[in-house]
């Protein structure tokens, strides 16, 4: 390939990459603009008496439904098998008109359930972020004990295997139905009032935190073991204690190495937060499933639900990729600007 062709091909790839990034930015702005606008309206503006009210759609879906009905009636009357006494057949226009009617009905349905999905997305996001942050607080000492704890490493191993070896849904049921946690939480006056979610939500946070801490502990253990043992020895040689060496030398590198695994854990929590719906937490899946059960519009509702989950997951992975690049140490790891993993 000549140099000019290679240069042209490179420019074409760069142009396509710019278009992809611009499109991703536009989609992200629309997605998060909708969520933020919906939350701001439901929690603040609607309380001032402005607009249709909390939980109501901003625009009427009646025009869309009327247009869809017109297309459906037209296809029914003049479609592949026209009714008697009609002389007009739509022929090849039947399929696109049918699709257009379905599209209009889908848009109308999306507008109708958008407030409920936005409210459920808030519970999903808070549940995910709180669980992974609190789980990290547990996971770090568990992983350190697992690697450097001597005889105590068996306690860390037992905790990890017990949590990982039992289903998350079973753990949630145990926490939800046991009176030792549900009763004290349900008796707190603040819980379940105003903006504060009910006690099932707090139980879900406890359950997801415990479950996620076991998986995070294993991610961190793998990252701990990837740090050269000589660095801890060097830290001891300059006068640091073993604990100080772990704290100031080993862990900063470990947490950087663990970011790709945390990204995977974050994606896992976003999707599996749907299990909280089984203990009545009104998160994203719970609300969509409730609407589908009452309207029997299972396919379009679950397609819309999947799009919202996809938006959350792609946003999370994008944020974690930026964090990884931000905290990367030049010359270490595989993030952009670092050298490890190259074929040199």
Q: Give the pLDDT confidence of 168-194 residue by residue, as tens digits.
A: 999 999 999 988 888 888 888 888 777
pLDDT given for residue 230 in this prediction = 86
Would you kindly state where each structural domain of the chain is located, as residue ranges?
120-327
Q: How far apart are CA 81 and CA 84, in angstroms?
A: 9
Please give the average per-residue pLDDT across 272-285, as a whole number: 92
Rounded mean pLDDT of 11-39? 83
Superfamily for 120-327? Answer: MetI-like (1.10.3720.10)
Q: How confident is the model at residue 339 (pLDDT cuts 50, 70, 90)?
A: very low
Q: Are 236 and 242 in contact (CB under 8 A)?
A: yes
DSSP 231: H
Residue 92's SS3 state is helix
Say what percent of the chain tops pLDDT 70.
Answer: 85
The answer to whether the beta carbons of residues 220 and 254 sit under 8 Å apart is yes
Residue 160 burial (C-beta neighbours within 10 Å; 0-12, 13-18, 19+):
buried
pLDDT of residue 54: 86
* pLDDT for the residue 70: 85
Q: What's residue 83's pLDDT?
A: 54
Supply the pTM of this predicted model: 0.83
Are 315 and 265 within 8 A, CB to CB? Answer: no
Considering only CA atoms, give the Rg of the chain: 27
In the chain, the percentage of residues whose pLDDT exceeds 90 is 42
End-to-end Cα separation, the chain, in angstroms: 25
Q: Convert 220-259 to b/e letters by CB count within 10 Å (16 or more is b).
A: bbebbeebeeeebeebeeeebeeeebbeebbbebbbbbbb
Most confident of 85-99, 196-210, 321-335: 196-210
Residue 342 has a pLDDT of 45
- Is the CB of residue 190 less than 8 Å from the CB of residue 196? yes
Write out pLDDT tens, residues 97-127: 778 888 888 899 999 999 999 999 999 999 9
pLDDT digits (tens, 9 = 90+) for 144-158: 999 998 888 999 999
Identify the three-state secondary structure at position 20. helix
Using the predicted structure, report yes or no on whether residue 341 has a pLDDT greater than 50: no
What pLDDT score does 340 carry? 45
pLDDT interval class at 203 (50, 70, 90): very high
The confidence score (pLDDT) of residue 236 equals: 86
């Amino acid at each position: 390939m000549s140099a000019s062709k290679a240069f042209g091909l490179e420019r074409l790839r760069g142009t396509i990459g710019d278009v992809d990034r611009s499109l991703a930015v536009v989609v992200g702005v629309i997605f998060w603009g909708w969520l933020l606008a919906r939350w701001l309206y439901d929690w603040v503006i609607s309380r001032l008496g402005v607009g249709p009210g909390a939980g109501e759609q901003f625009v009427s879906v009646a025009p869309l439904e009327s247009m869809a009905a017109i297309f459906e009636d037209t296809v029914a009357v003049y479609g592949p098998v026209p009714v008697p006494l009609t002389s007009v057949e739509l022929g090849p226009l039947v399929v696109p008109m049918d699709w257009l009617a379905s599209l209009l009905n889908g848009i109308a349905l999306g507008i109708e359930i958008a407030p409920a999905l936005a409210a459920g997305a808030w519970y999903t996001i808070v549940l995910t972020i709180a669980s992974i942050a609190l789980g990290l607080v547990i996971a770090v000492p568990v992983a350190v004990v697992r690697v450097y704890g001597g005889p105590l490493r068996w306690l860390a191993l037992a905790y990890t295997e017990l949590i990982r070896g039992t289903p998350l849904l079973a753990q949630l049921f145990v926490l939800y139905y046991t009176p030792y946690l549900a009763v004290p939480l349900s008796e707190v006056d603040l819980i379940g009032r105003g903006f504060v979610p009910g006690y099932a939500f707090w139980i879900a946070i406890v359950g997801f935190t415990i479950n996620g801490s076991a998986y995070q502990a294993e991610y961190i253990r793998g990252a701990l073991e990837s740090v050269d043992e000589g660095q801890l020895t060097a830290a001891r040689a300059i006068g640091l204690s073993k604990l100080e060496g772990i704290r100031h030398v080993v862990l900063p590198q470990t947490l950087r190495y663990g970011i790709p695994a945390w990204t995977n854990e974050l994606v896992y929590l976003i999707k599996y937060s749907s299990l909280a719906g089984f203990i009545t937490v009104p998160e994203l899946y719970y609300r969509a499933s409730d609407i589908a059960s009452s309207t029997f519009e299972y396919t379009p509702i679950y397609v819309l639900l999947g799009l919202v989950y996809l938006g959350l997951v792609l946003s999370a992975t994008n944020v974690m990729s930026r964090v990884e690049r931000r905290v990367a140490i030049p010359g270490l790891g595989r993030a952009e600007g670092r050298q490890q993993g190259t074929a040199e």
